[in-house]
Amino acid sequence: MEELFSLKGKVAWVTGAAYGIGYAIAKAYAKAGAKVVFNCSRQETVDRGLAAYKEDGIEARGYVCDITDEEAVKSLLEKIEKEVGKVDILVNNAGMIKRIPMTEMEVSEFRRVIDVDLTGAFIVSKAVIPSMIERGGGKIINVCSMMSELGRETVSAYAAAKGGLKMLTKNIASEYGAYNIQCNGIGPGYIATEQTAPLREPQPDGSKHPFDSFILAKTPANRWGTPEDLEGPALFLASKASDFVNGHILYVDGGILAYIGKQP
């Protein structure tokens, strides 16, 4: 059983893994024996990540690279291959959100979210797939969202990107499954991270943010998730244990997608 879930000797590239969900996933992979590399678009975020890994006793390499820049991604991949090894596991985790009502959103803002959350995953996957084919296989895990399935006010660009990422996942599985490449999505529910902090901020009178209570009423588990809740599912999708699982989106949401919500 241990062998089934071991990542010993594997190289895992988790984009944007300086903190939050990506960090928890990378940490799980390191604990399972993988060599972990990550990138962020800014040096200060890379430094923040490196300090956190060091504190957790994890040897991780961090690089500055903007995943929307194909040339930069290609040269980073060459560097990773030279310095660490060929990439066996890619996690397309880097992402962003803009919460703006659709009719007030600039087209440039919409395009930026699509560029980072969807086109970035295309660019990095496109870069690693040829060497995965050459070496007989690989694992690609795309960090999807509740918004791969559901809409809500203010997140039109994010929902469009995450819905697209779900279909990119299925398409990579379809196109490269014959090369022993498994491409699956992990779909976090509402996880307590920096990205969702504004939705949990207590009100000036000390009461819960209305969105906080709303999410608890929508989640059978009756709590927000933690980045650590993603560790086991992400490890499953990166390991031998999931070798015949392809094009699947594994939602880790405390049951949100199964539930109509608590009656007020």
- Residues marked as catalytic: 158
Contact between 152 and ligand GCO by CB under 6 A: the answer reads yes
What's the DSSP call for residue 206?
Answer: S
Tokens, residue 182: 């498994």
Contact between 147 and ligand GCO by CB under 6 A: the answer reads yes
Contact between 172 and ligand GCO by CB under 6 A: the answer reads no
- When binding is defined by CB under 6 A, the residue of 146, 157, 165, 172 that contacts ligand GCO is 146
- When binding is defined by CB under 6 A, the residue of 62, 163, 185, 188 that contacts ligand GCO is 188
CB of 25: closest distance to ligand GCO in angstroms? 15
d(CA 253, CA 223): 10
Contact between 145 and ligand GCO by CB under 6 A: the answer reads yes
Q: How many CB atoms lie within 10 A of CB 129?
A: 20
Nearest to 14 by CA among 51, 61, 56: 61
Which span sits near ligand GCO by CB under 6 A: 166-174, 183-191, 231-239, 241-249? 183-191
CB of 90: closest distance to ligand GCO in angstroms? 20
CB of 71: closest distance to ligand GCO in angstroms? 29
Give φ, ψ of 22 to 5 degrees.
Answer: -60, -40
d(CA 242, CA 245): 5
Please give the size of the binding site for ligand GCO, defined by CB under 6 A. 13
Which span sits near ligand GCO by CB under 6 A: 14-22, 85-93, 186-194, 240-248? 186-194
d(CA 245, CA 141): 12
Torsion of CA 156, 161, 166, 170, to 10 degrees: 140
Please provide the DSSP assignment of 171-186 as one string: HHHHHHGGGTEEEEEE
Which span sits near ligand GCO by CB under 6 A: 76-84, 101-109, 150-158, 222-230? 150-158
Interface residues with ligand GCO (CB under 6 A)? Answer: 97, 99, 145-147, 152, 155, 158, 188-190, 195-196
